[in-house]
A and B are shown apart, each in its own frame.
Chain A
Amino acid sequence: MTTDITKNLKAALWVPGLPHVLKPEYNKAYAELGKAMEQAGRQLKEQGVERILYYSTQWISVLGHLYQAKKQLTGYHVDENWYDLIDLPFNFKIDVAFADKLAKAATAQGYQTKLVDYEGFPVDTGTITADRMLNQTGARSNMVSCCVYSDYADTVKLAGTIRAEIEADSVPTAVVIVSGLSGRWYTREIDFVDDGVSDAGDDKWNQKMIALFESGSYDNAEKLIGDYAGACKVDMGLKGLAFLKGVGALSAGRKAKCHAYGGIYGTGAAVMSF
């Protein structure tokens, strides 16, 4: 992993949001992805990260952006697709004061925001899975929803408001994008052991984009997003990258590193640090 991104932003990660990574015994790629996530978690611990901010493409909103603001967010989650794979009880300590600041900062920029403070709120599978692997110290968390009507540029700008707030206090923070790459699911039943990226073209595209990230060629990568998204049903049109850009993780000279890559039920999954 690389050096601090800014004074308080210690790490920016991209991880898959499917619970299969919690089942290493089912498939080699699941095991590798899971191991890379755990390793990334150890790194966060070493870097003294005290707060993890999640942006998951599985937490969707339509009327602006939502910010999780329940102090002790506990519950029991069962995924609507993978209900017989694993149950996901969860327990998050939310940095409520920070959520409030984030929402206010975005509102000041014209965004529609809402704090979400409800017993039983259905935290998404991806965020729970990521937190299980990454958060090894009981660090506090924040969560920002993925508004489907906020496009790439708009999301860069929104994440800019978050960057400013991360810098405005003194808590060592990590930003974690929970998202997939190519989104071509297997729509038939497969044996987990036979899992992989479902389409050779998707696989090529994923690897090409990862290579661009690894060479720090973010401008070039951005130029290809439209084609990539169109060709490979990319998860939320790679909007997670916009979020990373906004928080400052794609600045000139910074190169990403891909720690693991593979397929989960046909979709592209990667663990990357930026």
Chain B
Amino acid sequence: MPTSGQGRIIGGWLAPHPPHLVYGENPPQNEPKSRGGWESLRWAYENCRKRIKEQKPDVILVHSPHWQTVVGHHVTAVPKLEGLSVDPIFPHLFRYKFAMDVDVELAEAIHDEARSDGLIARKMTNPKFRVDYGTIVSLHMMNPDWDIPVVGISANNSPYFYDDNIGQEEMTKLGEATKRAIEKTGRRAVLAASNTLSHFHFNREPNPELPEDMSKEHVFSQSQYEWDVRVIDLMRAGKTKELMAILPQFMREAFAEVKAGSLTWMLSAMGFPEIPATMHGYGTVIGTGNAVVEWDLESRR
């Protein structure tokens, strides 16, 4: 792993994690089998896979709302994590055998940088730790070969525990710490914000006999859809400042999962770039709004 020279973030992805996407794809790692489904999002992720293959980053970092931690920001800091991940909410869709190499040096550097900035940070060093399904789904959709080391970062519960502002401030600082750690360790890194956009969803499975019944998939509500479009348009226009300004309202009114801080963390690490993001695809999953969006920082170089 390169440890000399100035590291940099080469790109960032809004990389939502509905397990339905893995289920729809039928990879060998996932036990349940489907007839497909949610193609618009899966095709969008194919673009991401292609980019990752071309760019060959040293590491992919993912911030996941489904590793929620009470005390501070945690990073995976053990060389290998593997096991069977069964989604507690959708166990009929996601039972995935995972194995990932962790970039421990970078994880430790993020921990140290976060600490030096006054954040509470912790290194997760238990090799029996079962990685959350959010992390796994985003990483699988981005790189199903798992041949690039990763760092998993937890979602500290501060946005839920205090208020949106304190929570997002914490994530902003965490992003800055992540950036410094990447630079110091010399990595070429890709970031993933594992977030759904609008997050109200059906409270019943529309067709329990066929979860991938796409005739039953649709936006939860028009207002929620319009919120997603508004947010995505700001991303596409590169109006990052405006995007950040409306996020709290988006969280409140569309119950947006970005509240967990993953998007704020990523945009902060990238320096809140005012560059147009590339929209690769949008789709709903049990009514929630999901978009695969890319910020290509190399295009600025």
Contacts and interface: CB of A to CB of B under 8 A. Distances in A.
Contacts of A66: 91
Interface stretch (A33-41, A114-122, A163-171, A219-227): A114-122
Nearest to A186: B71
A57 B65 CA distance: 19
A188 B126 contact: no
Interface in A50-84: 59-64, 66, 76-78, 80-81, 83-84
A187 interface: yes
Given A121-B91, A188-B120, A81 B125 contact: no
A109 interface: no
Contact of A118 (B91, B132, B201): B91
Contacts, number: 84
Contacts of B130: 77-78, 122
A149 B203 contact: yes
B71 A120 contact: no
A265 interface: yes
A76 B128 contact: yes
A147 to B, nearest CB: 9
Given A63-B203, A112-B205, A80 B132 contact: yes
A60 B90 CA distance: 11
B43 interface: no
Interface in B63-89: 67-72, 83-86, 88-89
Contacts of A186: 70-71
B158 A121 contact: no
Given A118-B95, A121-B86, A185 B70 contact: yes
B128 A78 contact: yes
A191 interface: no
Contacts of A114: 92, 208
Interface residues of B, number: 34
A64 B204 contact: yes
Q: Which DSSP category, helix, strand, loop or mixed, fits chain B's interface?
A: loop
Interface string A98-118: 000000000000001010101
Interface residues of A, number: 31
A189 B92 contact: no
A87 interface: yes
A61 B201 CA distance: 13
Nearest to B87: A122
Interface of B: 67-72, 83-86, 88-89, 91-92, 95, 120, 124-126, 128-130, 132, 154, 157-158, 161, 201-205, 208, 286
24 contacts: A59-B88, A60-B89, A61-B89, A62-B89, A63-B204, A64-B204, A78-B126, A78-B128, A78-B129, A80-B68, A80-B69, A80-B132, A83-B129, A112-B204, A116-B91, A119-B84, A121-B86, A185-B161, A186-B70, A187-B71, A187-B161, A189-B71, A189-B72, A189-B120
Q: Which 7 A-B pairs give the minimum distances between C-beta atoms?
A: A120-B84, A83-B126, A120-B86, A185-B70, A149-B203, A78-B129, A78-B128
Interface of A: 59-64, 66, 76-78, 80-81, 83-84, 87, 112, 114, 116, 118-122, 124, 149, 185-189, 265
